[in-house]
Structure 1
Amino acid sequence: MDNRMYSIVKKHIKQWDPECLLASGAPEDEYETEIKEIVNGDMDNVFQISKTIKAVFEKYFHLEYDPNECFKVAERIWNDLEGGHSNR
């Protein structure tokens, strides 16, 4: 697993905190499983990252997530990844 990619995804998922678990006092590693699955998914472009985020969170939380919200998070991830010119 690419440590830089993992760190970027982790930062943005924690900031997003879609279920307000971290804000409610959950442990810092609350979204660890979801983060790892996202990083191991298709990270080739912002659209794929967005689809992966949506699919992963829907799988684990059994809720429907707004595609626009997922895309916003994916955009922030993509911008950070591209800022460092990561080789994916």
Structure 2
Amino acid sequence: MAKKPFKIVKKIVDEWDPMKLLAMECPEDEYHPEIEKITALLPEVKNVEELADKINQIFTFAFDKTMIHEECMKVAERILKSL
């Protein structure tokens, strides 16, 4: 796995902090499993909508909480624009 895409995704996901775990001073690697999954998907993703759906699925599965679609879209857009 390339370092640069991981670092980009990590920065964006950490800023998003969807579960507010980093705001509660959880460890900085709190979202690493989800970030690794997102990073692994990047070569296969065709557009922002698809990436947003995958991000939604990853976080919904990991934290058993339905994500807000618009937030996932914003995150997906930021990730794809930053690569």
TM-score over 0.5 (shorter chain)? yes
SS of residue matched to 2:35: helix
Unaligned segments of structure 1, at least 5 residues: 82-88
Cross-structure match for 2:53: 51
2:63, 2:22 → 1: CA distance? 15
Deviation at 1:32, TM superposition (A): 0.4
Deviation at 1:2, TM superposition (A): 1.9
Cross-structure match for 2:34: 34
Runs of 4+ in 1 over 3 A off after TM superposition: none
Give the TM-score normalised by structure 1. Answer: 0.85
Cross-structure match for 2:79: 77
Unaligned segments of structure 2, at least 5 residues: none
* Equivalent pairs, count: 81
SS of residue matched to 1:29: coil
1:40, 1:79 → 2: CA distance? 17
1:26, 1:7 → 2: CA distance? 19
2:27, 2:45 → 1: CA distance? 26
SS of residue matched to 2:8: helix
Give the TM-score normalised by structure 2. Answer: 0.90
Deviation at 1:47, TM superposition (A): 1.9
Kindly report the root-mean-square deviation, in angstroms, between the aligned alpha carbons of the 2 structures.
1.1
